[in-house]
């Protein structure tokens, strides 16, 4: 009887020993999401991965490490993107299931390196772990998979010294530095690590953090080449296309006499086709004449052929002088990938009932003698689009946005924060004007010039200092993801070779 009792107790304790660490992993993932807007505990990103790495290192098997990684990833993305889950309808559990897979490769590599630490494995962990993390971030940032929303490096948008890394290697280099520091700290506190290994891990973490901060502090200030006065209109959610245009026009009228160089409306501000509505076209031209500035509106309506696109249109008193059509569309939000196969999803979610038409290429607007690069909402998450505009010689980038669907959520602050990173990466000031959301303006160093939260209703005018810095990231492009991918593949090849060697000797890795 005593033997049977012990057996039953062990069987009951087994699931508990598995599930408690898994749930703790979910909590650690959710906690890391607090480093991002709207909570903005950016400092937590420097150590928030440590609890997860400790849980993975003690998993005991690769299988358990994978499970703990899945729970941590689901906790992270479920918290960071909780505002979008209700719009997925019955498919939100499936979405969370897929998002949970994102951290699994990183978790498996972390277990392989941290379970039995040696000086060689310590050095490898400090290089391979951030490389795997960045490689996975780059892969999941493919535009058809949702873009770069939630990259670890983007949590540092308020940390001005650290932002300097973005000028060197984009948001990717910030992510690399954060994971490297977290890896060093985890090594420093691993229970089974030797004293020399712990000291090496802790010392590396401190050195890397100091290097990251100093890289921003030593950067010289850019040369200011001029000032552009940008006006924005943020009316909040306004139902009905006629009423929406009327509200924008009324607020635009309040700007008259303040001498703006350009007046910007947000995404979908004009839900009518001015080409088919001469009365609307006349009102827009009149608004440009009364303010004495070019008017950048955003048309989201079907044209004469029935096709729908989202386009930025530059109005003067004489009419439209330039047009930019949105190129990067939101998967399921503005089009359904493989609609013949997946179109049925639209009937069960908030997915687009009709696909928008994507634009063919970038555009540069000539505004008040300056070159302006237009982008539209979701496109602000992509570093390559901003880099392309900077290479074309723009003085300023302007993004038209709107997050009416996610009104009152974390999405507002998250999108607004991207502009700080894009400004530093491109060496150009960045402006975001939201119809409903958080409008923001940043100088070329990521310094916040203006921040208008969703509660703000009205028009604003901001003097934006112009500068054009040729950043290393602008010249070299995505060299960090490329290097990280090479390191990750090289480490994988070495691990595979060691595994084959171990099997030939009769050893089975756990």
- Which pairs count as long-range contacts for 312-316, CB under 8 Å and 24+ apart, including other chains? 312/363, 312/374, 312/376, 312/400, 313/270, 313/274, 314/365, 314/367, 315/284, 315/285, 315/287, 315/288, 316/285, 316/288
Q: Tokens standing for 328? A: 């990067």
Q: Are the CB atoms for 187 and 201 separated by under 8 Å?
A: yes
What does DSSP assign to residue 233?
Answer: E
Q: Are the CB atoms for 332 and 323 separated by under 8 Å?
A: no
The number of helices, as runs of H, and strands, as runs of E, in the chain is 15, 12
For the chain, 510 residues long, give each residue's pLDDT as a single digit of tens: 444 443 333 344 467 788 999 999 999 999 999 999 999 999 999 999 999 999 999 999 999 999 999 999 999 999 999 988 888 877 788 889 999 999 999 999 999 999 988 889 999 999 999 999 999 999 999 877 766 889 999 999 999 899 999 999 999 999 999 999 999 999 999 988 888 889 999 999 999 999 999 888 888 788 899 999 999 999 999 999 999 999 999 999 999 889 999 999 999 999 999 999 999 999 999 999 999 999 999 999 988 888 889 999 999 999 999 999 999 988 877 777 766 666 666 666 666 667 788 888 999 999 999 999 999 998 999 999 999 999 999 999 999 999 888 888 899 999 999 999 999 999 999 999 999 999 999 999 999 999 999 999 999 999 999 988 899 999 999 999 999 999 999 988 988 887 787 666 655 555
Backbone φ, ψ for residue 461 (5° rounding): -130, 130
Task: Tally the C-alpha atoms within 13 A of residue 264's C-alpha that lie toward its C-beta.
Answer: 34
pLDDT at 73: 97
pLDDT at 499: 77
Q: Are the CB atoms for 387 and 428 separated by under 8 Å?
A: no
* Domain residue extents for the chain: 2-219+479-504, 227-327+362-473
Task: Tally the C-alpha atoms within 13 A of residue 277's C-alpha that lie toward its C-beta.
Answer: 18
285-302: burial string, b at 16+ Cβ within 10 Å, e else: bebbebbebbbbbbbbbe
Please, which residues have CB within 8 angstroms of residue 332's CB and are 6 or more apart in sequence?
A: 345, 349, 351, 352
463-481: burial string, b at 16+ Cβ within 10 Å, e else: ebbbbbbebebbeebbbbb
Three-state SS for 444? coil
Complete DSSP assignment for 159-194: -HHHHHHHHHHHHHHHHHHHHHHHHHHHHHH-TT--
Q: Are the CB atoms for 76 and 103 separated by under 8 Å?
A: yes
Q: Tokens standing for 69? A: 């990684």
Please, which residues have CB within 8 angstroms of residue 16's CB and are 6 or more apart in sequence?
A: none
Measuring CA to CA, how many Å separate 399 from each of 163, 202, 266, 421, 465?
20, 42, 8, 14, 17
- Give the residue carrying structure tokens 């070299």: 476
Q: Are the CB atoms for 105 and 136 separated by under 8 Å?
A: yes
pLDDT at 14: 65
Q: Which CATH superfamily is domain 227-327+362-473 in?
A: Carbon-nitrogen hydrolase (3.60.110.10)
**Rounded to the nearest 5 degrees, what angle is found at the Cα of 76, between the Cα atoms of 70 and 77?**
90
**pTM score, whole prediction:** 0.92
Q: Cα–Cα distance between 471 and 469 in angstroms, integer?
A: 6
Q: Cα–Cα distance between 149 and 373 in angstroms, integer?
A: 21
């Amino acid at each position: 009887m005593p033997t049977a009792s012990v057996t039953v107790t062990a069987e009951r304790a087994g699931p508990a020993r598995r599930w408690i660490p898994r749930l703790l992993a979910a909590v650690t993932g959710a906690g890391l999401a607090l480093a991002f807007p709207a909570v903005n505990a950016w400092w937590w990103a420097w150590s928030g991965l440590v609890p997860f790495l400790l849980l993975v290192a003690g998993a005991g098997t690769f299988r358990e490490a994978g499970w703990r990684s899945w729970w941590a990833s689901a906790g992270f993305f479920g918290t960071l993107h909780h505002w979008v889950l209700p719009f997925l309808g019955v498919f939100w559990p499936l979405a969370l299931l897929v998002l949970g897979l994102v951290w699994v490769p990183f978790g498996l590599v972390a277990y392989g390196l941290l379970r039995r630490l040696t000086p060689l494995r310590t050095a490898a962990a400090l290089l391979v772990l951030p490389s795997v993390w960045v490689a996975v971030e780059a892969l999941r940032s493919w535009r058809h998979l949702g873009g770069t929303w939630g990259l670890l490096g983007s949590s540092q948008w308020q940390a001005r010294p650290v932002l300097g890394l973005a000028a060197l290697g984009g948001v990717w280099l910030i992510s690399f530095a954060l994971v490297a520091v977290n890896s060093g700290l985890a090594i420093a506190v691993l229970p089974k690590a030797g004293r020399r290994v712990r000291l090496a891990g802790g010392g590396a973490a401190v050195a890397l953090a100091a290097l990251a901060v100093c890289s921003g502090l030593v950067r010289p200030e850019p040369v200011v080449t001029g000032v552009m006065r940008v006006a924005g209109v943020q009316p909040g959610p306004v139902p009905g296309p006629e009423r929406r245009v009327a509200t924008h026009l009324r607020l635009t009228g309040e700007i008259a006499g303040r001498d703006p160089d350009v007046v910007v409306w947000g995404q979908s501000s004009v839900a009518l086709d001015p080409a088919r509505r001469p009365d609307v076209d006349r009102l827009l031209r009149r608004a440009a004449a009364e303010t004495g500035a070019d008017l950048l509106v955003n048309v989201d309506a079907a044209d004469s052929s029935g096709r729908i696109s989202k386009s930025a249109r530059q109005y003067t008193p004489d009419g439209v002088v330039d047009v930019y059509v949105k190129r990067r569309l939101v998967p399921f939000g503005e089009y359904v990938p493989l609609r013949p196969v997946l179109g049925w999803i639209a009937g069960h979610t908030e997915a687009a009932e009709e696909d928008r038409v994507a634009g063919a290429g970038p555009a540069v607007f000539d505004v008040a003698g300056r070159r302006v690069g237009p982008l539209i909402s979701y496109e602000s998450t992509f570093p390559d689009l901003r880099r392309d505009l900077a290479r074309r010689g723009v003085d300023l980038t302007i993004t038209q946005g709107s997050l009416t669907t996610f009104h009152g959520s974390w999405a507002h602050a998250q999108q607004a924060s991207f502009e700080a990173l894009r400004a530093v990466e491109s060496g150009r000031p960045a402006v975001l004007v939201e119809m409903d959301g958080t409008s923001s303006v940043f100088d070329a160093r990521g310094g916040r010039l203006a921040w208008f939260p969703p509660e703000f209703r009205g028009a604003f005018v901001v003097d934006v200092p112009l500068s054009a810095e040729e950043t290393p990231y602008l010249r070299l492009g995505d060299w960090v993801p490329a290097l990280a991918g090479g390191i990750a593949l090289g480490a994988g090849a070495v691990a595979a070779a060691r595994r084959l060697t171990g099997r030939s000797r009769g050893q089975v890795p756990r």
